[in-house]
């Protein structure tokens, strides 16, 4: 899997590499970059010594021949290298929601003022409730009711809308329906969900109710990539807040909403800034 630009690019670029580890990789990679005469702005590496696997993220600027740079990197890197070269640019996304407004509202304001590093192309919901919020922010809203439809039928309608927009990422902003494996397979490492618990605690339905019943003193939220194992995808970001015996499941949910929206936007920022490499069911996250 190789992602790359074509042509010659100016300004700021991000290079993500992962491959088998071996001696001299940083040297080899920075040598290629040096020969292409670019300026390294920031560099991060990580080696998983258990698996002998190497990860690197480089931000650089300057004019260079993209195809040649990729070729030169491929020649110097192990065969299993994944190379991803992108510019610093806004990602195109579609947001799926159900009835809760807090995550969507936060994303819409960030979208409107340009601090999401993404452009929300459309919002799709299985309810009408969030239409006004969405449309007043100038974003198209698609209501696809799930009533009288099988899961597959409903999803096909959602997929049809998504297909019209061709987003790079799909964000589940409290979308309360379980996606089918075929949907998920269609967007590998491209669907991001916010789950309202500090996973793996309280997997499944009603995590705040579960948290209340268990009598925990902290609750939290988890943003993760969605894969075929429900609530088991690679975790991008988590955060928690303290609670006590005076909280019931409703006040926990109220308190938790701020955590949810913060964790989701934090995770999206990391992904859209190309700071995340997914590896197995984990994420490598660069500063």
- Which sequence positions are flagged as catalytic? 231
CB of 136 to a copy of itself, least distance (A): 4
Among residues 85, 235, 252, 264, which is the contact residue for a copy of itself, using CB under 8 A?
235
- 15 near a copy of itself, judged by CB under 8 A: no
210: left (phi over 0), alpha (psi -120 to 50) or beta: alpha
CB of 269 to a copy of itself, least distance (A): 9
Helical residues (DSSP H) of the chain, grouped into ranges = 25-35, 66-76, 102-113, 131-136, 151-165, 181-186, 207-214, 249-272
- Residue 197 DSSP label: S
Stretch that binds a copy of itself, among 157-165, 172-180, 185-193, 211-219 (CB under 8 A): 211-219
- 27 near a copy of itself, judged by CB under 8 A: yes
- 99 near a copy of itself, judged by CB under 8 A: no
Q: Which of 23, 20, 56, 19 is nearest to 40 (CA)?
A: 56
Among residues 2, 8, 10, 41, which is the contact residue for a copy of itself, using CB under 8 A?
41
Q: Is the peptide bond before 14 cis (omega within 30 degrees of 0)?
A: no
Cα–Cα dist 182/228, whole Å? 9
Q: Which of 199, 213, 194, 185 is nearest to 97 (CA)?
A: 194
Query: Residue 119's beta-bridge partner residues?
Result: 92
Cα–Cα dist 159/58, whole Å? 34
> Mask 50-79, x = binds a copy of itself (CB under 8 A)?
x-----------------------------
Q: Which residue has the tokens 């006040």?
A: 251
Query: Residue 53's beta-bridge partner residues?
Result: 20, 48
Footprint on residues 133-192 left by a copy of itself (CB under 8 A): 133, 136-137
Stretch that binds a copy of itself, among 79-87, 162-170, 179-187, 239-247 (CB under 8 A): 239-247
Largest CA distance in the chain: 63
- 102 near a copy of itself, judged by CB under 8 A: yes
Helix (H) / strand (E) element for 86: namely strand 82-87
Choice between 45 and 228, CB closer to a copy of itself: 45
Choice between 156 and 210, CB closer to a copy of itself: 210
Among residues 42, 68, 90, 151, which is the contact residue for a copy of itself, using CB under 8 A?
42
Q: Which of 160, 210, 170, 213 is nearest to 193 (CA)?
A: 170
- 198 near a copy of itself, judged by CB under 8 A: yes
Q: Which of 223, 276, 235 is nearest to 44 (CA)?
A: 276
CA angle 191, 192, 193 (to 5 degrees): 120
CB of 39 to a copy of itself, least distance (A): 6
> Mask 258-277, x = binds a copy of itself (CB under 8 A)?
x---x--xx-----------
Among residues 88, 146, 239, 273, which is the contact residue for a copy of itself, using CB under 8 A?
239
CB of 157 to a copy of itself, least distance (A): 27
Residues that bind a copy of itself (CB under 8 A): 23-24, 26-27, 30-31, 33-34, 37, 39-47, 49-50, 101-102, 105-106, 109, 112-113, 115, 133, 136-137, 198-202, 214-218, 220, 234-240, 244-246, 248, 254, 258, 262, 265-266, 281-285, 287
């Amino acid at each position: 899997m190789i992602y790359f630009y074509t042509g010659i690019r100016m300004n700021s670029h991000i290079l993500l590499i992962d491959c088998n580890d071996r001696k001299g990789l940083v040297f080899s990679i920075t040598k290629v970059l040096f020969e292409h005469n670019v300026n390294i702005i920031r560099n991060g590496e990580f080696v998983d010594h258990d698996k002998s696997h190497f990860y690197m993220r480089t931000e650089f600027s300057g004019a260079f021949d993209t195809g040649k740079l990729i070729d030169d990197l491929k020649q110097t890197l192990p065969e299993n290298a994944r190379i991803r070269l992108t510019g610093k640019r806004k990602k195109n996304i579609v947001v799926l929601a159900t009835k809760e407004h807090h995550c969507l509202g936060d994303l819409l304001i960030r979208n409107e003022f340009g601090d999401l590093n993404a452009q929300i192309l459309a919002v799709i919901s299985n309810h009408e409730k969030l239409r006004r919020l969405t449309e007043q922010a100038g974003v198209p809203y698609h209501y696809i009711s799930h009533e009288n439809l099988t899961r597959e039928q409903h999803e096909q309608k959602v997929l049809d809308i998504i297909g019209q927009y061709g987003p790079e990422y799909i964000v589940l902003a409290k979308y309360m329906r379980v996606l089918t494996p075929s949907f998920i397979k269609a967007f590998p490492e491209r669907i991001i969900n916010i789950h309202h618990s500090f996973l793996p605690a309280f997997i499944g339905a009603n995590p705040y109710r579960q948290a209340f019943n268990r009598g925990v003193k902290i609750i939290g939220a988890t943003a993760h990539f969605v894969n075929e194992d429900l609530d088991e995808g690679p975790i991008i970001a988590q955060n928690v807040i303290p609670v006590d015996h005076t909280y019931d499941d409703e006040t926990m949910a109220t308190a938790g909403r701020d955590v949810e929206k913060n964790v989701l936007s934090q995770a999206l920022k990391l992904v859209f800034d190309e700071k995340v490499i997914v590896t197995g069911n984990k994420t490598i996250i660069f500063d």
